[in-house]
């Protein structure tokens, strides 16, 4: 539940807390206000959907949540860490260990095999011993059902297989949080269902999962659906819009 103006919260404490987050971008045509004072609590082990029309701010919200973008104002606290206050280097290392990111267009490196792509986060963050990394990467590929594709280049895989590889890569460092930006936008409905089932399994295993999606037909997979419009939250049982939240928790 969300803390409203100092009232006591009930239930588990939030793993992710956004307090009065605003994000603006300067363009030749003027200032664009992508987020307008968003406050949101996400609990450990929760599977949530971020939905809304194009331009509503949902991808920006995900980017701010992961530290890919920094908020113009407000605070983002994850596991007690105020991520917007971290310098770029420590932020990148923190993100690599704590957040697995699944991109819409996979972002697999084309010159590396699928196995090497999955190992890359472990190499970057120096997690797990070197001799364990291949074994772990193969186990993750087996978990997502494409172990037999490990030695191939990404271009040899179907779209669904590439997305599964991207999910395996996001899990490489065993992060407590997994976020995905339109992960099923280029997939057929059968493959999309299997992706959402996998995200549900991750949440059941204790990971916190946030998915940007247009897929309203799959709402049964999500514990919470957050609907954004024009940079504010328009509909959700467990979150506050800027109009309701006057304070927030400063870092």
Note the pLDDT of residue 187: 79
Separation CA 36–CA 21 (nearest Å): 7
Q: Report angle CA 199, 202, 203 to the nearest 5 degrees.
A: 90
The whole-number pLDDT of residue 105 equals: 83
**CA atoms of 244 and 142, how far apart (whole Å):** 45
pLDDT at 208: 96
Location of structure tokens 């779209």: 159
pLDDT at 43: 93
pTM for this model (two decimals): 0.84
Per-residue pLDDT of the chain (251 residues; tens, 9 = 90+): 333 222 333 345 789 999 999 999 998 888 999 999 999 999 999 999 999 998 899 999 999 999 999 999 999 999 999 998 999 999 999 999 999 999 888 899 999 999 999 999 999 999 999 999 999 999 999 999 999 999 999 999 998 899 999 999 999 999 999 999 988 877 788 888 888 898 999 999 999 999 998 877 777 889 999 999 999 999 764 443 333 333 443 44
Q: What pLDDT score does 10 carry?
A: 39
Strands of 232-235's sheet in order across: 99-102, 177-181, 208-212, 47-51, 224-229, 232-235
Residue-level pLDDT at 189: 84
Q: Can you give the pLDDT at residue 236?
A: 67
| Domain 45-69+88-235 superfamily per CATH | P-loop containing nucleotide triphosphate hydrolases (3.40.50.300)
Residue 22 CB burial class (10 angstroms; 0-12, 13-18, ≥19): middle
Domain ranges of the chain: 45-69+88-235
CB atoms within 10 A of CB 70: 15
């Amino acid at each position: 539940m969300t803390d409203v103006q100092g009232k006591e919260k009930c239930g588990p404490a939030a793993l992710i807390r956004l307090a009065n987050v605003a994000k603006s971008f300067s363009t030749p045509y003027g200032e664009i206000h992508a987020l307008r004072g968003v406050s949101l609590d996400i609990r450990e082990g929760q599977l949530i959907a971020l939905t809304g029309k194009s331009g509503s701010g949902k991808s920006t919200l995900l980017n701010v949540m992961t530290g890919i973008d920094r908020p113009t104002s407000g605070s983002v606290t994850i596991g007690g860490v105020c991520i917007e206050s971290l310098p770029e280097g420590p932020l990148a290392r923190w993100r690599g260990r704590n957040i697995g990111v699944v991109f819409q267009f996979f972002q697999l490196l084309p010159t590396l095999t699928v196995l090497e792509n999955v190992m890359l986060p472990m190499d970057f963050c120096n997690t797990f011993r070197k001799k364990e990394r291949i074994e772990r990467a193969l186990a993750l590929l087996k978990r997502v059902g494409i172990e037999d594709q490990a030695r191939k280049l990404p271009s040899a895989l179907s779209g669904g297989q590439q997305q599964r590889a991207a999910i395996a890569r996001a899990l490489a460092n065993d992060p407590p949080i997994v976020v995905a930006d339109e992960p099923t936008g280029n997939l057929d409905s059968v493959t999309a269902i299997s992706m959402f089932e996998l995200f549900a399994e991750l949440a059941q295993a204790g990971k916190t999962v946030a998915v940007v999606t247009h897929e309203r037909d799959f709402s049964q997979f999500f514990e919470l659906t957050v609907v954004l419009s024009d940079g504010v939250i328009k509909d959700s049982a467990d979150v506050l819009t800027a109009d309701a939240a006057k304070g927030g928790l400063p870092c």
